[in-house]
């Protein structure tokens, strides 16, 4: 399965003082629809060394099961079409 169609419409929010510390929440559009394809995308990035252990959560928004209220509250401020979210710990 190829998932290298490219990430588009990236919108980022930096949050401080969360239970997980300081985090960067990135919404983006990935031209795939299934969670399995998102998982392949994440696996490819891990293998290529582009995704590090500081990523707490990454998912297609259709399959969002964690951080639901916080993610959807931020999503209200996103003005472009997105279908995935990544939450990563930052300093």
Write down how long the chain is.
91
Q: Is the dihedral of CA 79, 64, 60, 17 positive or negative?
A: positive
- Kindly tell me if the per-residue pLDDT of 4 is higher than 70: no
Is residue 67 within 8 Å of residue 88, measured between CB atoms?
no
- Kindly tell me if the per-residue pLDDT of 20 is higher than 80: yes
Of 55 and 73, the one with more pLDDT: 73
pLDDT of residue 48: 73
- Name the pTM for this structure: 0.76
- Kindly tell me if the per-residue pLDDT of 5 is higher than 70: no
């Amino acid at each position: 399965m190829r998932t290298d169609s490219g990430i588009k419409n990236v919108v980022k929010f930096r949050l401080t003082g969360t239970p997980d510390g300081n985090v960067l929440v990135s919404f983006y559009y990935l031209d795939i629809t299934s969670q399995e394809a998102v998982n392949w995308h994440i696996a490819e990035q891990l293998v290529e060394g582009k995704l590090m252990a500081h990523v707490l959560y990454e998912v297609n928004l259709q399959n969002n099961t964690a951080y639901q209220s916080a993610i959807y509250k931020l999503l209200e401020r996103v003005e472009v079409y997105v279908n995935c979210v990544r939450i990563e710990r930052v300093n």
